[in-house]
Structure 1
Amino acid sequence: MLAACPDTLASLRDRVLGHLGYYCRGRRSELARFRIASVEDVGPGLLVVRKWTSKNDKNDQGREYEIDDPDAVADIQRWIGELNKRGQGDPRMPLLRRVNKGEDLDPVSRVPADLGRLGYSAGEIKEITGDWSSTEQVEKYRRMGRRRAGKPADERRSKVISELRELRTEVQPVA
């Protein structure tokens, strides 16, 4: 099935998807969560892929899968090379990306929220992703990611509110 894929960027991505699904026993949602950093080249002809999200994982260590199939290793390395060539090779970026009809990578919409949840600023997110013209939109996704993680969207605002609360308790009206 993988050998029947034509030599296009979308087909390369599809072959990588097939290899990862097979060797990592990945569900669709797990494959979508892979980041470039999930793949580690540990030696000639050997990759280690770490899968962090699974309903069977009970800790933060995740699971490691070794891939030593020469065709799979070559396809995955070539795909990561293509991402790097297009300026989309930051380790925090998604590994599997949509390829449009023009053989270009589509912008990543969830990454700003994910990076915002991890504490990156809008400027840092814009620099990492490289495909946002509006800082306002990046900031919107960053705040959304922070809220989903149960963190305040604006740390400075939260700090000021906390200081005001402390000040209010210190200065009690005299009765």
Structure 2
Amino acid sequence: MGIQPRIGNADKSQGSTAAPISPWRAAIQRLDGAYSEHTLRSYRSDFSIFERWCLGNDRAPLPATPQVVADFIAADAVKSASSTLKRRLAAIRKVHRLFRLPCPVDDEEVAIALRRAMRSKRRRPRQALGLTAALRDQLIAACPDTLIGRRDRAMIAIGYDTLCRRSELVCLRLEDLTRLSDGGAKILVRRAKNDQFGDGRWGYLSAVALAHLDEWTQAAAIHEGPILRAVIGGNLQAKGLLSVAVSRRLKAAAQRAGVPAPTTAALSGHSMRVGAAQDLMTAGKSLLQIMSAGGWTSVNVVGRYVGEADWNVWAA
């Protein structure tokens, strides 16, 4: 590009209070359409955090030296998880490559800093509580016969059956549903976190989950578009439910069901996915079958989920 940006402190000689120019923001816009919006948000957020740290410590974020990046990782490791540190490095790498600058992330000094930071963390990542079938049924039974209650019943049943991540769950569309002869249905999960090119996967709904879905869509008069939608002041919204609302609705259902407070607090938007995987394992399904059902590509991730399954069922 022929650009050698150097971002430093604003020129204080003129008494300027304007923020320093950040040409990297415009460079990231070139990636629109080539990467998911979630990835682009991460790049912007993570490099912005790196930039602020650099400016606060009188360092140049672009181009950055390996030592600067290593020092940043050491400082950020105090409050950030290992996965977050890796994501920060991905953003720094991408921005430098966009400007065709030498990439400081690939230096051994950075690798050592990251390894040191990761060894300082506890090895086992925090995991969402699995919402297994028994807890699922308890929460569904506690949902009231209101428009929101019917939606929440459908959300819990569909989320469990399809093993969807919360971001996938709120994007499910009614026109992607195909009813099957056994009384259930299959639904296209259009785009997943690990599906960069949008090939999608099929999620399967039991007859019970399909009945909850039908009850909700008929009550809400939904004929196409997003299945799960917000209801504000009794009015159905056109756009899909926000992903952050999934965990809130699970916790609300758990509170109504009288679930103990520690269990309620441990529920998250990932709980249905984790719980369904655990149930599949205890039902004797193979790891490959579970990976296929949930669209996983990493054996390690699935292994961590099912490793906390309730193995007491085998004693029955």
| TM-score where L is the length of structure 1 | 0.51
- Distance of aligned partners of 1:57 and 1:45 in 2 relative to their CA distance in 1, 3 Å threshold: same
Pairwise CA distance, 1:82 = 2.6
- Distance of aligned partners of 1:34 and 1:109 in 2 relative to their CA distance in 1, 3 Å threshold: closer
Do 2:176 and 2:187's aligned partners in 1 also have CA atoms closer than 8 Å? yes
Of 62, 75, 95 in structure 1, the residue corresponding to residue 212 of structure 2 is: 75
Cα deviation per residue 1:36-60 (whole Å; 9 max; x = unaligned)?
1122222352110110111233654
What residue in structure 1 maps to residue 121 of structure 2? none
What residue in structure 1 maps to residue 160 of structure 2? 22
What residue in structure 2 maps to residue 99 of structure 1? 231
Paired amino acid for 1:96:
L
Give the alignment of 1:28-47 within 5 angstroms: 28-47=166-185
The gaps in structure 2 that reach 5 residues or longer are: 1-138, 242-316
Higher-Rg structure is: 2
Cα deviation per residue 1:143-174 (whole Å; 9 max; x = unaligned)?
xxxxxxxxxxxxxxxxxxxxxxxxxxxxxxxx
- Distance of aligned partners of 1:14 and 1:109 in 2 relative to their CA distance in 1, 3 Å threshold: closer
Return the alpha-carbon distance in structure 1 between the equivalents of residues 227 and 148 of structure 2: 13
Q: Secondary structure at the match of 1:98?
A: strand
What residue in structure 1 maps to residue 38 of structure 2? none
Paired amino acid for 2:174:
I
Give the alignment of 1:83-162 within 5 angstroms: 83-84=220-221, 88-89=222-223, 91=224, 93-102=225-234, 104-108=235-239
Name the count of aligned residue pairs.
103
Return the alpha-carbon distance in structure 1 between the equivalents of residues 166 and 198 of structure 2: 20
Higher-helix-fraction structure: 2
- Please give the root-mean-square deviation of Cα atoms over the aligned residues, in Å: 2.3
Q: Secondary structure at the match of 1:43?
A: coil
Return the alpha-carbon distance in structure 2 between the equivalents of residues 108 and 73 of structure 1: 21
Paired amino acid for 2:188:
R
Do 1:35 and 1:95's aligned partners in 2 also have CA atoms closer than 8 Å? yes
Identity within the alignment, %:
32
Do 2:230 and 2:240's aligned partners in 1 also have CA atoms closer than 8 Å? no
Return the alpha-carbon distance in structure 2 between the equivalents of residues 72 and 32 of structure 1: 16
Pairwise CA distance, 1:2 = 0.7
Pairwise CA distance, 1:5 = 0.8
- Distance of aligned partners of 1:79 and 1:44 in 2 relative to their CA distance in 1, 3 Å threshold: farther
Return the alpha-carbon distance in structure 2 between the equivalents of residues 23 and 97 of structure 1: 19
Pairwise CA distance, 1:78 = 1.7
Do 1:97 and 1:106's aligned partners in 2 also have CA atoms closer than 8 Å? yes
Return the alpha-carbon distance in structure 2 between the equivalents of residues 94 and 41 of structure 1: 17
- Distance of aligned partners of 1:30 and 1:4 in 2 relative to their CA distance in 1, 3 Å threshold: same
Do 1:98 and 1:106's aligned partners in 2 also have CA atoms closer than 8 Å? yes
Q: Secondary structure at the match of 2:192?
A: coil
Do 2:170 and 2:226's aligned partners in 1 also have CA atoms closer than 8 Å? yes
Do 1:23 and 1:65's aligned partners in 2 also have CA atoms closer than 8 Å? yes
- Distance of aligned partners of 1:77 and 1:57 in 2 relative to their CA distance in 1, 3 Å threshold: same
